[in-house]
Structure formats: C-alpha cells, structure tokens
Amino acid sequence: MMLRATPALSLLNPVHGEALGPLFSSVSSPSSFSLSRLNSSASLASSVRFSHAKKESSFAVCAASRADNSRPLTGVIFEPFEEVKKELDLVPTVPQVSIARQKFSDECEAALNEQINVEYNVSYVYHAMFAYFDRDNVALKGLATFFKESSEEERGHAEKLMEYQNKRGGRVKLQSILMPLSEFDHEDKGDALYAMELALSLEKLTNEKLLNLHSVASGNNDVQLTDFVESEFLSEQVHAIKKIAEYVAQLRRVGKGHGVWHFDQMLLREEGAVDAIAA
C-alpha cells in the first residue's frame, strides 16, 4: 500500500470554541461528495471531501487550517497494489486471482502440485498393500495395519501441501494417479519382503521429490517454502527411510516361512504400543 501527501483535498479546522452551524452540500462532480460546517460569520470553516475517480480505486483525505495560512497539516492517499487494481477492474465481484500471493513463483506452484501428485500415488500403492495383506488367505494383520497407516499418512501429507498451496495463493491442480499392483507375492522374495522393499523405494522416491521441491524453492529465493519443506517433511522422511530399511533387513533374515508371521506379530505389538502411548 502506498501512502503519500496530497494538497488537493483539505480538512479546514475552525477556531476552538466557536459555534458552528451545519451545512451539507454536494459538489459539481458526480464522483465526489463534500460535507462542510460553517460558522455564523463564515470566516472559518471545516470540510471533509471524499473523492472516488471513475476508473481509479483511491481515497484521499487532507487537513488544513485557514487560521494557519491554509498550510496542509496531513494528507494521505491509499492506493491498492497493482494486482489488486487489476483484479478490481477485471472482476469486480468474484476474485479470480489471489490477492494473498506474494513472492511465489509459477515454478514453485508447479513443483508443489507435482509433490501433491507424488504423495497421492504413494498413498494409493500403500492402500493396495493394505488390501492385499488384509485378505483372509494372507491374514498378516500387522503388515495390513502398517500399510493402512502409511497410506493415511501420505494422504495427510498431500492435504498439508494443498493447504500450503492455497495459503501462498497458488492453485491446486490434481493430476492422474497410476493404478497400483494388486498382487505382491514374489516368487523368490515372498510377499512381505517384496512389499517392504517396494515401500522403501517409494519412501526414497518421495524424499528425492521433496529435495527437488526444496531445490526449486531455493532457486527462486522462496525462504518460506524451503522452511516449510524442511520443518514439515524432510526430517520425518529420513526417519521413515531408516525404519523401513530396518524392516527390509529383518525380513531378509527370516525368509519366506514361519519367520514372516513372527515379524507380523512384532508389527502388531509395535503399533499397539504406539496406540497406547497416543491414548
């Protein structure tokens, strides 16, 4: 918002203590209106004029005192930002362009939408894994619960990115989601190890895309976006990669047989402990 002094319109102050009689009059211009109060001698007056140009969004008030040789006391003009003025001219009723947007590049906006798509795709794959391990002929409830919670977490990340996109004045543009696998029983590795290795690759992919988003933000000198990615995602992503890498190592040790059931029971105990702490 720009502020500057103007001598064009004035507020004239009467001498303290003199009685004033009301007088309200309109000026010749149809786009302005004047309010005046004159005393009985008409030697001193106070007036306020509000002016609105036909194609300009501005409001001006200026103060002066005839008792002080009509020297202006104060003056302010309020002028909207250029994008606001443009918006008022083009769409006077329903805004189509964000007026909250500031220092937010198109490249950052596109990178955020790409990350939203990544999070939803990963969530979709995890949901397919949940459906597989929840079958009656697979019945690995620990893995099913783990992947269901992982799916919900990734979807939560996507929603958090969407909220941030809107906060910065960008536009969320959802893209297509690829159809995931429905079968995860690998001939050599079995289903648990194969699914967990796939989960590890998905977490590393997500981390790579987050680092790319951070790089785009840094390249555009967007400090707010870099801080958002660092504080909300990167540390958590490193922790997830470490945890799933440990699960992969453990499943490689136990093989495809009875050890998978014990691993599944361990997941159930861990998730139960987490729920108890949360409660």
Q: pLDDT tens-digit profile of 43-75?
A: 434 444 444 444 444 444 444 444 455 555 445
Higher pLDDT, 121 or 44: 121
Q: CATH no. for residue 157? A: 1.20.1260.10
Higher pLDDT, 263 or 41: 263
**pLDDT of 165 higher than 60:** yes
Lookup result for tokens 């093989």: 255
**1, part of any domain:** no
Q: In the structure encoding, which two tokens stand for residue 90, read together?
A: 């083009």
> Do 119 and 254 fall into the same domain?
yes
Lookup result for tokens 């799916």: 151
> Do 154 and 246 fall into the same domain?
yes
> Do 256 and 172 fall into the same domain?
yes
**9, part of any domain:** no
Number of domains the chain contains: 2
Residue type, 245: A
Torsion angle of alpha carbons 89, 93, 96, 99, nearest 10°? 70
Average pLDDT on 131-151 reads: 97
| Distance (Å, whole) CA 190 – CA 145 | 19
- Between 141-167 and 258-278, two packed helices, what is the crossing angle to 10 degrees? 50
**pLDDT of 235 higher than 80:** yes
Q: In the structure encoding, which two tokens stand for residue 277, read together?
A: 């702490």
Domain edge (last residue) among 44, 63, 90: 90
> Do 194 and 234 fall into the same domain?
yes
> Do 160 and 30 fall into the same domain?
no
> Do 73 and 198 fall into the same domain?
no
Higher pLDDT, 122 or 59: 122
203 is in an annotated binding site: yes
Residues sharing a CB contact under 8 Å with residue 129, sequence separation 6 or more, in sequence order: 143, 147, 151, 184, 195, 198, 199
* Domain extent at residue 32: 20-90
- HSE-CB at 49 with a 13 A cutoff on CA atoms is 24
> Do 247 and 177 fall into the same domain?
yes
Residues sharing a CB contact under 8 Å with residue 224, sequence separation 6 or more, in sequence order: 103, 168
**72, part of any domain:** yes
Q: What is the pLDDT of residue 98?
A: 85
pLDDT tens profile 4-17 = 444 444 344 444 44
**Cβ count near 75 (within 10 Å):** 19
163 is in an annotated binding site: no
Q: What is the pLDDT of residue 61?
A: 42
154 is in an annotated binding site: yes
Distance of CA 122 to the CA centre of its chain: 21
Average pLDDT on 183-200 reads: 96
Q: What is the pLDDT of residue 248?
A: 98
Q: Which of 95-109, 133-147, 198-212 has the lowest mean pLDDT?
A: 95-109
